[in-house]
Amino acid sequence: MGGAVSAGEDNDDLIDNLKEAYYIRSDLVERAFRAIDRADYYLEEYRDNAYKDLAWRHGKIHLSAPCIYSEVMEALDLHPGLSFLNLGSGTGYLSTMVGLILGPFGVNHGIELHADVIDYAYQKLDSFIKTSDSFDKFEFCEPSFAAGNCLEIPPSESRQYDRVYCGAGVQKEHEDYMKNLLKLGGVLVMPLEEKLTKITRTGPNSWETKKIISVSFAPLILPKHGTSRKPKTVPLPKYEVRTLQELTRICIRHSLRVTTGGADSQPPRGRGSSFSVGRGLAVARLHKYGPRFKRRRVHRRHCNGLVLATRQVVASSGIGPAPLDANHSQGGRAEEEEEAGERDARRRAGRGVVRVVEEEEMVEEEEEEEEEEEEEQQQQQQEEEEEGQEEEEEKETGELLRPQPPVNVLRERILGLPLPEPLKMYLLFYREK
């Protein structure tokens, strides 16, 4: 199943294609998809296929197509602090993305039939926590997995979740079983009768059902019950109460992340991002319209000043209506002609002053443009000189100068704290540099 969008060159390119095809529609889902490279969950020899909109299977390891995961994430309507159960959690790719949205006070559980696939999922989870820079940009709800058949959850558990997803085709006779895993107001997303279906629990015995898209999933594997053996049960992962030490680490990292202004506020990369870049331009002291817009604004200020100067010249020149005599009547024709001639002379004088003002403003504007052009040329020359110096250094050393990786601000803040090294490493989750 898949092939709804074209393949991407990398993870960001794949997400851009999913956004353009309207599979990814919300900012939260977009950030989660961009934070986790899909190729990291492939075996090394199959990474070249990671950015195609196709499902992938190798033995017991399976990943659904990106367009399917996009629809699932959007349909789940995730928020921080919710509880989530993933039935058929597989590699943990979906559970990890969900954990980025749930935050540290959510619940993130998964049930997987094969124990060796759970080992694979924990390896990928450990790699994400230890090596990915995205980990420091989110407050994460780490998933926990249990091995067994999801149809063998004991009734004694009677545990319910805000969000439930099943990654295998559900038979109609198991629909009610799945619904009972939901809290009131919860959302269940599962393949039901060849349709990806969203079911919302609106009351103790009432539901709303919505068909999303046509899908083709392998059916759920039914439990094998022997005649002489008792049916197996699969205990759900335990709810773990965080220790005071863990809560302190969460609070410290949250405070440092907020004060840096660079973790939660960083927009995702890619041409299709719906995040605003205005703040980034402001920080870089760049205007989104460039220097030409600035010069046009200067020109408008000159025009406003010119209008004001013109009014002042006209006022000072005494241009106005002819004065009245003592009887409030106009003088004779000779006086009128004389006064009209004086007014014309004053108008011509005022126009001459206005022209002078215009010429002075134009000269100032041209001088400013020339200064800006000279500054741009100087900057270009400096950049060329720096590039030349780098090339010379490369020739001398025989090594290419690699671009510096982006700075992990949260990590730098933690390392700068006046704390013992073991405590710093605890705050960093013992992450590698």
Residues labelled as active-site residues: 64
Burial class (CB in 10 A: 0-12, 13-18, 19+), 429: middle
How far apart CA 391 and CA 420 sit, in angstroms, is 42
Q: Are 95 and 40 in contact (CB under 8 A)?
A: no
As a three-state string, the secondary structure of 34-103 is HHCCHHHHCCHHHHHHCCCCECEEECCEEECCHHHHHHHHHHHCCCCCCEEEEECCCCCHHHHHHHHHHC
Based on C-alpha coordinates, what's the Rg of the chain? 35
DSSP string for residues in 283-308: HTT--TTHHHHHHHHHHHHHHHHHHH
CA distance 56 to 353: 80
- Whether the CB-CB separation of 365 and 300 falls below 8 Å is answered with no
Distance, CA of 149 to CA of 151 (rounded, Å) = 5
Q: Which helix (H) or strand (E) holds 339?
A: helix 333-397
The first and second tokens of residue 406, run together, are: 């982006």
Asked whether 167 and 86 are in contact (CB, 8 A), the reply is yes
Using DSSP, state whether 228 is helix, strand or coil: coil
Residues 331, 327: Cα–Cα separation, whole Å: 10
CB 14 within 8 A of CB 7: yes
